[in-house]
Structure 1
Amino acid sequence: MRNLILLILLFIVSPKLNVAQTKIHSHNDYEQKRPFLEAYEFKVDQLEADVFLVGDSLIVAHTKKQINSANTLNKIYLDPIAVFFKQYKNRVSIEKKYTFNLMIDVKENWNLVFPVLKKEIEKYGEVFNSSKSKYAIKIVISGNRPVDSLYHTFPSWVYFDGLPNISYAPEDFKRVTMISDNFANYSKWKGVGEIPVADKEKLLSAVKQANAQHRYFRFWGAPDTKDSWKQLNELGRVIINTDKISESKTYFNNK
């Protein structure tokens, strides 16, 4: 009878734990057919925008060759977010507790980009400042970043994508929202079947280290398949890096 009760409890509790742990990161979100809006409608946890500095504007693009001066960070992300934030009165959605991170992957010199980014973000007031509004959109910097010992010196709305195996000072680590690394540093697995045992141990070690510091882990460049989503999610608190927003959200919602 005792074993039966334990099995029932595991059946009831485990799925809830898995759902709670699963976060979705819209990789290169600007390359979606409907940038921002699809991710927003599916309530992803994080959106990624690569930016280049062109004159005094931040342009969203994957490479310099793809730069289109019309695709500004403001037009694709900041302005639409601000509209929703105003519409729902200091929240971004009718779902009161929903918010997300906007990851800005800096492709240029940080020292040149940040003054422009600061000027643009601060135009929107509390929309991107979680110290002023509980459901503000959190700005997370990736790509070219300042040295980690300076993280704490930036305005309160600035957060950073962390790296594994770095001994951050406590005051700087408070600005680190998650730990990210290239999947290829751990495995060459293509996302079909099972991850090789040795590779899984490497992945698990990285996730455990981040989780012990109360941070999620994101493997960018990981295979974007259901087998991969399933096995990465089973490692612990991970952020699923995906180009397949609808498929991944549907997959985890049905788990």
Structure 2
Amino acid sequence: MALTTRRRALGTLAAALATGVAAPGLAHAGQGKRDPRPLYRAHAHNDYEHPRPLFDALDHRFNSVEADIYLVNGELLVAHDPIDLDPSRTLDSLYLAPLAARVRANHGSVYRGWRAPLQLLVDIKTEGAATYLELDRQLRRYRGLFTTYAHGKVHTGPVTAVVSGDRAARAPMEAQRRRSAFYDGRLADLGTAAPASLIPLISDNWANNFTWLGTGPIPAAERAKLRGIVDAAHAHGQRVRFWATPDLAGPERDAVWADLIAAGVDHLNTDDLAGLEAFLDARDR
């Protein structure tokens, strides 16, 4: 190999390692192999607050990540609070473009060899209708990347975008005959006429619905309530997630996670990527 060609290849490799995106030509080196099994229940709450948004979650094999967005001067910025807004931290730069690059490198999936879509939960913090319309415009740029709804049918892609946050986003979504995102429902949406093709996910605040925080066994009435919620959602083809569950490392958190899994809850919400990865791996031994 000529010296200049070798230097160029090494530079490409270094850039790939720095960004977490496979370099062109390097993705084929492991062709035929699978990535480690993704953790389908693992949801990275406020994922963008980690040192490497998206990539830290992917390194820990999470299959669901959450990003809060603000519509500012026509751009979608990612932050938890308005004071943290930074024009360089856009939804496109932190999530959309890196996911597109990874899917290209992995020949059509976020995790090479595993076809179940990754969930991108987008939590709208500014007025819902206007913010959603800009989000819709940006998602449509990435043809083939996102799960879509078109004329009554869902077409699964490598990434499924689900819109949470400001509830005014629902009206423009329902009016579309074709869209690249879905809606994050609440417990009040269970049993309504809204189909899973609009609301595939039911999320709610654990503390608003349950008193048990992991000390001692879960009360029988709360266990029955939890399983009733999950059964009702699953009967309609919907998944279930709770936020505000205990998230400090310890036996209480593990007890809540264990009962959520036993009840069939689909996503465990955490800021502790390594902690949930270790918990789920230990249960699979």
Q: Same fold (TM over 0.5)?
A: yes
Comparing 194-203 with 223-232, greater Cα deviation is found at: 194-203
Contact 1:126-1:133 at 8 Å conserved across structures: no
Write the deviation string for residues 152-202 of structure 1: whole angstroms up to 9, x where unpaired.
4333322111112334335x4422111111101222333343223333333
Q: For 1:138 and 1:230, locate their aligned partners in 2 and report how far apart those are by CA, in whole Å.
A: 26
How far is 1:246 from its partner? Answer: 2.0
Where has structure 1 moved over 4 Å in runs of 4 or more? 19-22, 130-134, 147-151
Instruction: Output the CA distance in 2 between the equivalents of 1:186 and 1:96.
Output: 34
Structure 1 residues 147, 173: closer, same or farther in 2, change over 3 A?
A: farther
2:164 to 139, 142, 145: 142
Q: Does 1:231 align with 2:254?
A: no
Partner residue in 1 for 2:23: none
> 1:4-153 residue pairs with structure 2 within 5 A?
23-130=41-148, 134-146=156-168, 151-153=173-175
Alignment check: 8 A CA contact 2:40 2:64 kept: no
- Choose which of 223, 226, 234 in structure 2 pairs with 1:211: 234
- CA RMSD, Structure 1 to Structure 2 (Å): 2.6
Letter paired with 2:277: K
CA contact (8 A) 1:21 1:238 kept: no
**Structure with greater contact order relative to length (CA < 8 Å, sep ≥ 6):** 1
CA distance in 2, matches of 1:183, 1:230: 15
- The separation in 2 between residues aligned to 1:108 and 1:137, in whole angstroms, is 23
SS of match in other structure, 2:126: coil
Q: Name the residue aligned to 2:34.
A: none
- Which residue in the other structure is 2:250 paired with? none
The SS at the match of 2:222 is helix
Matched AA of 2:60: F
CA contact (8 A) 1:102 1:137 kept: yes
Contact 1:130 1:136 in 2 (8 A): no
Q: Following TM superposition, by how much is the alpha carbon of 1:102 offset from its aligned partner in structure 2, in angstroms?
A: 0.4
- In the alignment, what sits opposite 2:10? none
Change (3 A) 1:33 1:20: closer
Corresponding letter in the other structure for 1:116 = E
Q: Secondary structure at the match of 2:62?
A: coil
Q: Is the 8 A contact 2:203 2:241 kept in 1?
A: yes
CA contact (8 A) 1:127 1:133 kept: no
Structure 1 contact 101–138 (Cα < 8 Å) conserved? yes
2:225 paired residue among 195, 202, 215: 202
How far has the Cα of 1:238 moved from its partner?
Answer: 2.9
Match for residue 201 of structure 2? 178
Indicate conservation of the 8 Å contact 2:53/2:94, yes or no.
yes
Question: What is residue 251 of structure 1 aligned with on the other side?
Answer: 279
Within 1, Cα distance between the matches of 2:44 and 2:233? 21
* CA spacing shift, 1:106–1:82, aligned 2, 3 Å: same
Query: Identity of counterpart residues, as a percentage?
Result: 28
TM-score in terms of structure 1 length: 0.82
Which deviates more from structure 2 when the two are superposed, residues 100-109 or residues 110-119? 110-119
Q: For 1:49 and 1:146, locate their aligned partners in 2 and report how far apart those are by CA, in whole Å.
A: 18
Give the conservation status (yes or no) of the 8 Å contact 2:110–2:117.
yes
The residue type equivalent to 1:29 in the other structure is D
TM-fit CA distance, 1:49: 0.3
Q: 1:238 to 1:94 in 2, by over 3 A?
A: closer
Q: Secondary structure at the match of 2:179?
A: coil
- Deviation of 1:89 (Å): 2.6
Contact kept, 8 Å, 1:22 with 1:233, in 2: the verdict is no
